[in-house]
Amino acid sequence: MQPSATPMVNLPDGRAVPALGLGTWRMGERPEARRAEVAALRAAVEAGPALIDTAEMYGDGGAESVVGEAIAGMHDRVFVVSKVLPSNASPAGTVAACERSLERLGVERIDLYLLHWRGRWKLADTVDAFERLVAQGKIGGWGVSNFDVADLDALAALPAGARCATNQIYYALSQRGPEFELLPRMAALGMPAMAYSPLDEGRLVQHPALRPIATELGASCAQVALAWLLAEGVRAPGVIAIPKSASAERMAENAAAAGLRLEPRHLAVLDRAFTPPRRKAPLAMI
């Protein structure tokens, strides 16, 4: 494995963010786990560069509060992503939700603020609220999550639609559906994907199809699954993967996947084990 200088991905607004980030779903739910969660995230941020993905939904604000404690005094070293719940995404509700998240995170700005999935509020109203939050300096940029092609097209038709920084989607070796139409559409819009559940919620970490490549490269199956998402030149304009781990050791192991180079023959083996899609299927969502 090569030294893991973290590759960076450029957002459409020109900001460069680490291609490997940290998920936080299921953090902040159990008081007895809080200290370890904070310590693990803090260690990862200190090892930097870091991107942390969280949401007001996770632990009903608990995950944002864990992140806030972990990054206290270190926001300059971490790119913070959070999400507004669709039920809150009205013009006033979006602003109020963002202010609650800022408070829990203990920061003055959320670097990237996403609509968690499309809900009943008009997209144009949510985007207007996002733009107001950008103008006020409360968020650095905005994006969406769980948007399939039709939703993205509706977004692109809005005057500010081109300022959408990313679409956070369920994308992993065992979930390649987005490759058929969605990723090409995002590429045409210059929008990198943010791949959630990149280890397929842990289902890939012992996967027999990954084992031979992992053994050959002296890596773990989790690292092979993450390196596949980051493979150079395969998924322009880039993928940002946000694996979640509650353990500092596994976070470091996942970060080191940035130094793993898969060769074309490895990619071919993985294509045989995890067949790319041949037709459009609705975007899967967890």
Please list the active-site residues: 58
Shortest distance, CB of residue 47 to ligand NAP, whole angstroms?
Answer: 15
**Structural contact between residues 227 and 260, judged by C-beta atoms closer than 8 angstroms:** yes
Does residue number 286 form part of the binding site for ligand NAP (CB under 6 A)? yes
Does residue number 29 form part of the binding site for ligand NAP (CB under 6 A)? no
**CB neighbours of residue 20 within 10 Å:** 28
**CB neighbours of residue 75 within 10 Å:** 17
Alpha-carbon torsion 185, 191, 196, 199, what sign? positive
Phi-psi region of 195 (alpha: psi -120 to 50; beta: other; left: phi over 0): beta
Distance separating the N- and C-terminal Cα atoms of the chain: 32
Shortest distance, CB of residue 217 to ligand NAP, whole angstroms?
Answer: 15
**Rounded CA separation 90/250 (Å):** 38
Does residue number 168 form part of the binding site for ligand NAP (CB under 6 A)? yes
Shortest distance, CB of residue 25 to ligand NAP, whole angstroms?
Answer: 3
- Strand bridging mode 50-53 / 164-170: unpaired
Task: Choose, by CB under 6 A, the member of 37, 53, 64, 148 that binds ligand NAP.
Answer: 53
- Closer to ligand NAP by CB, 92 or 177: give it: 177
- Closer to ligand NAP by CB, 92 or 285: give it: 285
**Distances, alpha carbon 112 to alpha carbons 11, 70, 94, 96, 136, in Å:** 10, 18, 14, 16, 14
Does residue number 243 form part of the binding site for ligand NAP (CB under 6 A)? yes
Task: Choose, by CB under 6 A, the member of 113, 147, 196, 228 that binds ligand NAP.
Answer: 196
Does residue number 167 form part of the binding site for ligand NAP (CB under 6 A)? no
Shortest distance, CB of residue 48 to ligand NAP, whole angstroms?
Answer: 18
- Residues lying near ligand NAP in the complex (CB under 6 A) are found at 23-25, 53, 116, 145-146, 168, 196-202, 205, 220, 222, 242-247, 250, 253-254, 286
